[in-house]
Structure 1
Amino acid sequence: MSSLSLGFVWLDRRSGNLPGGNQKLKEKFRKLLSPIRQFDKPNSCLDSIELSLKDKCLFFLTSDSFADEAFLKKIAAMPNIYRIYIYDQQGNNYQFDDTNLARKMGSERIIQFDEQLYKQIIVDLIKIYSKESDQAGQGKQAKELLESAVTLINTIDDKDEDLEQMENYLLTRISYLK
C-alpha cells in the first residue's frame, strides 16, 4: 500500500540457530512488514543493509546482546534505517548520547514485552502512512493509506487509550477524504 519500500531487519544471536525461535512473534511481524530479514552476525547484517537493502526504509530490531552504543551508532548512521528497537529481556538501562541514535530509537523503542514491541511498530507504521497520506493529498491513495493504518490498529486485541484516540483521529480524517 505504501509507496515506500518498507523492510524489517532482525539481528539476534538466536534468530538463525533455534528452530522455531520467536516463531509466534515473527508471524505477527510478517503481517506488518514482510519479508523479515534475519541475521545472527552483526557484520553480515551491516553488509546486507548497505548493499541489498539500501533502497528500503528499514525497521531494525536487535536483542540486548547486540545493543552496544558503537554498533547502534553505525546502524543509526545508515540513511535507510527508519527506527531502531532493542528487545531487552534483561531490563538494562540504556542511555546513549548520540543524537541521531536517540532520534531513531528513543526510550519508547527499548522494549521488554512482545505486545509492547508489536504496538510500537504499529504506531511507527501509522506515522509513515499518515505522512504519506498528507503528501498524497485528498484522493483515493490518501484514503487507502489511512485505511491501512486503521487496519493495523485493529490487529491489536487490547487497544489502550492512545490507540483508541489514534484510530478515532484516522477515521475522522478518512471521513473527509473522497
Structure 2
Amino acid sequence: MSSLSLAFIWLDRRNGNLPGGNQKLKEKFRKLLSPIRQFDKPTSFLDSIESSLKDRYVLFLTSDSFADEEFLNKIASLPNVYRIYIYNQQENNYQMDDINLAEKMGSERIIQFDEQLYKQIILDLIKIYSKESDQAGQGKQAKELLEFAVQLINTIDDQDEDLQQMEKYLLSRIRYFK
C-alpha cells in the first residue's frame, strides 16, 4: 500500500451487514484503498468529509439511490473529492450540466459492472500516483509512486492495449530513476 493520503468512500443504502451489501466488491477495493469508509446516509457522509478528510484525495462511490443531480453537484463542489462514481445497476441516464461534476465524474464513471468499476478506479489511481510522482521530483518517493502505479495495473485481469501502453510508459519513467 502506498503512503499517499487517499480515502475511498462508499455511500449506499445497503452498506453494513445487510444481504447484498456488495461484500466481494468491498474486499477487492480494500486491497487498493484501505479503509473503505461506508455510509448509508448522505448527512453522515457530508459531516465526515468536511471535518476529517480535508487533506486527502477522496474517491466517492454511490449507488443510483443517492445519485440525484443536486446531491452530486454538492459532492463535486468539495475540493478534496477527486472522482465520483455511480454504481448504476438500474441503468439510469444521468445529466451532468455542472462543469465541475462533469470533470469529476464523466460518463466513464457511471458503471454497471463490478469489473468495469474496479478498472476505472485503477485508472484514476494511476493518474493520482503519476501526478504525485511528478510533484515529488527526482527522488526515491517519485520512483515508489510510479512502481505502485504499475502494481495497480497488474491487478487487472483483462488488460487492454491502453493499459499495456500505460504500463510501458510508467516503466520507462521508472527506468529514468535508476
TM-score band by shorter chain is over 0.9
Sequence identity of aligned pairs in percent?
Answer: 84
1:4, distance to aligned residue in structure 2 (A): 3.8
Contact 2:143 2:174 in 1 (8 A): yes
- The letter for the 1-side match of 2:113 is F
The superposition leaves residues 11-48 of structure 1 with CA deviations (integer Å, 9 ceiling, x where unpaired) of 00101251572111001111111110001111111111
1:172, distance to aligned residue in structure 2 (A): 1.1
Match of 2:8 in 1: 8
Match of 2:61 in 1: 61
- Consecutive unaligned residues in structure 1, runs of 5 or more: none
The verdict on how the C-alpha distance between 1:40 and 1:154 changes in structure 2, with shifts beyond 3 A counting, is same
RMSD between aligned residues: 1.4
Q: Runs of 4+ in structure 1 displaced over 6 angstroms?
A: none
1:43 aligns with 2:43: yes
1:30 aligns with 2:25: no
TM normalised by structure 2 equals: 0.95
Contact 2:14 2:20 in 1 (8 A): no
Contact 1:2 1:132 in 2 (8 A): no
For the residues of structure 2 that align with 1:95 and 1:17, how far apart are their CA atoms? 32
1:80, distance to aligned residue in structure 2 (A): 1.1
Match of 1:117 in 2: 117
Match of 1:94 in 2: 94
- The letter for the 1-side match of 2:7 is G
1:2, distance to aligned residue in structure 2 (A): 5.0
**1:63-78 correspondence to structure 2 within 5 Å:** 63-78=63-78
1:168, distance to aligned residue in structure 2 (A): 0.9
